[in-house]
Amino acid sequence: MLGFNGVDYTLKTINSKGSEDFEPQEILCCVSENFLREDENLVTFGKHYKTYDGKITYDKLINDFPQFQEEINQTLIFDFIVNNIDRHFNNFGYIVNGKLRYCPIFDNGLSLYSDLGLEDIRIINKNKYMQKRYDKSKPFEKKHKLQIKLINKLPNINLNNTNEDFINIVKDYEDYLGAERVLAMCNLLEERLDYVRELYTNV
């Protein structure tokens, strides 16, 4: 919906054989297809800079990979909108197949407060100001609003959809997530989407 190149994830029930810790059971999982072809390899930025001793800053990454500036900036905007707290250097990178291309946005599991228990969700719902407590980002800054300020050129983004269009997607999963968690997620999306729209309006 945002016009970014991302990996599609779906829900799928798998039959687990169990382990020492739990009995065999059906488990609802989030799965995706492999986005690599047989002749392709994924090189994460963590792997690329494995032997680099310095700090990998936003400016360094853009200077080293100017051809990926648009996609890197899109990734940071996306992570801001969904409050992804786990975009470490092994969760984005490039694909090698003769030439390099940026990989689609993947591994967004720690987004939309998925790491929070119900008590924390209730705290957020009682006081929206408490959202700031749970605003964490990687890999360049510890807060998302600081991280997107690093962006030197706002990327292309489709903002034609309304907040309600995004929120309705989340509401479709209320039976899985529960009403309180859906409320927190929708409030987050609305606040972040409004902030991004304001950024683009002021350019």
Give Cα separations from 40 to 48, 56, 90, 91 (angstroms): 16, 25, 17, 17
Amino acid at the residue 84: N
Can you give the pLDDT at residue 133?
87
Give the distance, in angstroms, between the CA of residue 190 and the centroid of all CA atoms in the same chain. 16
Task: Please report, for the domain that includes residue 176, its CATH number.
Answer: 1.10.1070.20
Is residue 91 assigned to a domain?
A: yes
Q: Per 3-state DSSP, what percentage of the chain is helix, strand, and coil (rounded to 5)?
A: 40, 15, 45
The pLDDT tens digits for 7-50 are: 999 989 999 898 888 899 999 888 999 999 999 999 999 999 99
Is residue 67 assigned to a domain?
A: yes
Q: Is 20 exposed, middle or buried (0-12, 13-18, 19+ CB in 10 A)?
A: exposed
**What six digits make up the tokens of 186?**
């929708």
Is residue 144 assigned to a domain?
A: yes
Please identify every stretch of the chain with a pLDDT value under 70, giving residue numbers as ranges: 203
Give Cα separations from 130 to 126, 169, 202 (angstroms): 9, 24, 27
Can you give the pLDDT at residue 203?
61
Is residue 87 assigned to a domain?
A: yes
The Cα–Cα gap between 197 and 129 comes to 20
The pLDDT tens digits for 74-89 are: 999 999 999 999 999 9
Can you give the pLDDT at residue 53?
95
Is residue 119 assigned to a domain?
A: yes
Q: By the 8 A CB rule, do 27 and 18 touch?
A: no
Number of compact structural domains in the chain? 1
Is residue 127 assigned to a domain?
A: yes
Can you give the pLDDT at residue 140?
98
pTM of the model: 0.93
Is residue 18 assigned to a domain?
A: no
